[in-house]
Amino acid sequence: MIAPQAADAVRNTLVMLLAGGQGERLYPLTKDRAKPAVPFAGVYRIIDLTLSNCLNSGLRRIYVLTQYKSESLDRHVRFGWDILNPEIGEWIETRPPQQRMTSDWYLGTADAIYQNIYTLENERPRHVLVLSGDHVYRMDYSPMLQAHVASGAALTLACIETPVAQAAGKLGVVTVGPDQQAVRFEEKPAHPDPLPGRPDVCLCSMGIYAFDTEVLVRRLIEDAKRESEHDFGRDIVPAMVGRGDRVFAFPFPGSYWRDIGTLDAYWEAHMDLISVQPAFNLYDPDWPIRSFPCCAAPAKIVFGGGPPGAPKAEVYNSLVCNGAIISGAYVCDSVIGPGVHVEVGSRIEQSVILERTRVGRGAVIRKAIIDKRNSIPDGACVGAHPDWDHRHFTVSEGGVVAMAKGVPFPAF
């Protein structure tokens, strides 16, 4: 049950979900799709996690701001999330660059909202919740919105405690006073300010912003008139803190949050799902994660057949999605997507195999991400021979081998 004050804040909030990033560091998974449209956990898209957070928090007015390679994302939102009724003031809609003021595409996260100021003037929400469509976490936004209203803040930032070594050069860092009001904000500093008495931990922005609408509009117009990157973390938030606007930090109530903007982070997030006690729980009936429904037969795991001593199917610590068939193969610490066929004698370890991929007989796949609609030939190896992998695939800093969607397998 949402508290009355939180319910009032939710009713008066419009969501702007940023989903237009190119996702260059997630290539080749972003070769043909926007980063928020990349599959996750087999049956979801990354954006489904944030949209589910919104619905579970009671938020029903949502604009998804799209840009690069948005076709699959537009289609997914249109068919998978057409569940609200605009007649009663509820909707989830995609918004490409509006180009009302200029002919530019979205030039940054702040410019994406600036180009939709007309929508803010039309809808006149009291608060705007700005979210990112490429993070993995679970959060009820209503307590944050309630705290935002109670504090009289111009901006409230959701923040998470992070080891200094992990935050350096990667995350926005907030320094707060005793009342949680921000006194300093730096975007991706090389040497983050630690928390008082805790030299190894700092407070980091999660890219979740609750704004007073009137203040947001004024700051966006000011930013549009000056030379900047038109980015919330680099420009808007530091400027607001610097000029003395009431900016507060809201402590993230959970423990799991990942920006999966790189191949290594994407792979690690999947490995988090398959542990005996997963760090991120997909199975909580009180916090459902929805997506476009997958109409496929049940997963099937079968003995490989043949004479006595032929390979048998072994599956350990893995997610196996609808329509997948594992026939006499060994699968461990992996995610097997919908409609994937794994043939006899194959071995898959610590890997993510996406929709409708065939893994041939006797193939070996280790620490790899295989995108949709691929065919791994009989006897082929991915992730087993580093020099060969580097010549033919994308290999991350952490050694994750990634194969693009629907490409011919190189000769081996």
333 within some domain: yes
Q: What is the pLDDT of residue 323?
A: 96
350 within some domain: yes
Q: Is the predicted pLDDT of residue 150 greater than 80, yes or no?
A: yes
State the Cα–Cα distance between residues 376 and 70, nearest whole angstrom: 28
pLDDT band for position 318 (50/70/90)? very high
pLDDT band for position 183 (50/70/90)? very high
State the Cα–Cα distance between residues 120 and 377, nearest whole angstrom: 53
292 within some domain: no
Task: Say yes or no: 381 and 259 in one domain.
Answer: no
Q: Is the predicted pLDDT of residue 8 greater than 60, yes or no?
A: yes
Q: What is the 3-state secondary structure (H, E, C) of 126-145?
A: CEEEEEECCEEECCCCHHHH
Q: Which two tokens stand for residue 262?
A: 């790189």
285 within some domain: no
Q: What is the pLDDT of residue 103?
A: 67
Task: Say yes or no: 14 and 90 in one domain.
Answer: yes
Task: Say yes or no: 368 and 254 in one domain.
Answer: no
User: What is the average pLDDT value for the chain, to the nearest integer?
Assistant: 93
156 beta partners: 210, 248
Q: Which residues contact 217 (CB under 8 A, 6 or more apart)?
A: 117, 120, 121
**Are 102 and 117 within 8 A, CB to CB?**
no
Q: Is the peptide bond before 28 cis (omega within 30 degrees of 0)?
A: yes
205 within some domain: yes
pTM, to two decimals: 0.94
310 within some domain: yes
The CATH number linked to 252 is 3.90.550.10
Task: Say yes or no: 84 and 144 in one domain.
Answer: yes
Q: Which residues contact 16 (CB under 8 A, 6 or more apart)?
A: 63, 65, 112, 113, 116, 128, 129, 130, 131
Residues 77-118: tens digit of each pLDDT: 999 999 999 889 999 999 988 776 666 778 889 999 999 999
Task: Say yes or no: 130 and 16 in one domain.
Answer: yes
Task: Give the range of the structural domain holding residue 350, as residue numbers without chain letter.
Answer: 300-403
The CATH number linked to 356 is 2.160.10.10
Task: Say yes or no: 242 and 386 in one domain.
Answer: no
Q: What single letter denotes the amino acid at residue 183? A: V
Task: Say yes or no: 317 and 261 in one domain.
Answer: no
Task: Say yes or no: 89 and 232 in one domain.
Answer: yes
Residues 320-369: tens digit of each pLDDT: 999 999 999 999 999 999 999 999 999 999 999 999 999 999 999 999 99
410 within some domain: no
- What phi-psi label fits residue 226: left (phi over 0), alpha (psi between -120 and 50 degrees) or beta? beta
Task: Say yes or no: 202 and 348 in one domain.
Answer: no
Task: Say yes or no: 343 and 257 in one domain.
Answer: no
